[in-house]
Structure 1
């Protein structure tokens, strides 16, 4: 079956790892305390703060202790959904204020636009929240790229290194797994997608290999029609 959709990772694939670790995480770390203090009574924020208390086992923690827990989680790169949701809220303020611009490699921008014009369905699967995904692409240096995408997936679909996650995503997209091309810079993710039946291509922008998967150094070298 020919490929009809492309599912792409973000960090290290469409976007520089450094953007996440050197820009987004420090921004959240710097601005999250004030954000929590200012918005803790708002229902959406309060719900996430309660989730932090529950997940940390500190049900009686006050807001200042919750802030401390969140900063510890950021430092440890913990994949907590409550943290990701709150980070997304902080980043949203930064994007709206023009303090943040999403990084997307120029070759990824041109390829995504080309594939969209050619009729491929484009989807994102990242460990970052769907809100964070939309912000990166919606407030990108190249402009608003969200009209190119048909859907977004995060860890709500499962762990990125488990094949069942990719089966769920294929079912959600409504295609056979083999009709989907998955792009990533992580061999374990590529392995899981391949085990689920998807086509795979690895991004190695600085060279190297990703197991037995085909690898390229740029989106310019990817042709979904060749799979």
Structure 2
């Protein structure tokens, strides 16, 4: 064996953290985040992707925000939404707005496998 592939939600950490902390955090902060960063290339690319998918103008930031919030309510797995959520979560982690956790047994095994020289990979639909 040369590698370990694991998931995150429900495997190395609680699935409830994602649904009770991360998703609500992204929904609450998405409008201001997009407004503040709409000219940043990474955000602009995602807004363009939303506009391309919906036929909206990429300059209609407020309309794009409403579309993104609608996608959140629908639990839509759209790439631009997931990418923006990842950016928002990264900012939240960096600013200390919340902290993640890893189950003790998962941490122990990850450290053991790493010490044995096994490559560790995550296979997940999440962005962070």
Structure 1 or 2, whichever has the larger Rg, is 1
Partner of 2:55: 58
Partner of 1:13: 11
| Structure 1: runs of 5 or more not aligned | 133-227
C-alpha distance 73-103 of structure 1, shift in aligned 2 (>3 A): farther
In terms of fraction of residues, the more helix-rich structure is 2
2:17 equivalent to 1:22: no
Q: Which has the higher contact order (CA 8 A, sep 6+)?
A: 2
How many residue pairs match? The answer is 127
In terms of fraction of residues, the more strand-rich structure is 1
TM-score by length of 2: 0.93
Partner of 1:77: 75
| Structure 2: runs of 5 or more not aligned | none
Partner of 2:108: 110
RMSD between aligned alpha carbons?
1.2
User: How is 1:1-227 mapped onto 2 (pairs within 5 angstroms)?
Assistant: 3-55=1-53, 57-60=54-57, 62-129=60-127, 132=128
Q: What is the DSSP-based 3-state SS (H/G/I as helix, E as strand, rest coil) of the residue aligned with 2:111?
A: helix
Q: What is the DSSP-based 3-state SS (H/G/I as helix, E as strand, rest coil) of the residue aligned with 2:21?
A: helix
Q: What is the DSSP-based 3-state SS (H/G/I as helix, E as strand, rest coil) of the residue aligned with 2:13?
A: coil
**Structure 1 residue 90, shift from structure 2 partner:** 0.8
Between the aligned partners of 1:37 and 1:71, the Cα distance in structure 2 is: 13
**Structure 1 residue 58, shift from structure 2 partner:** 2.5
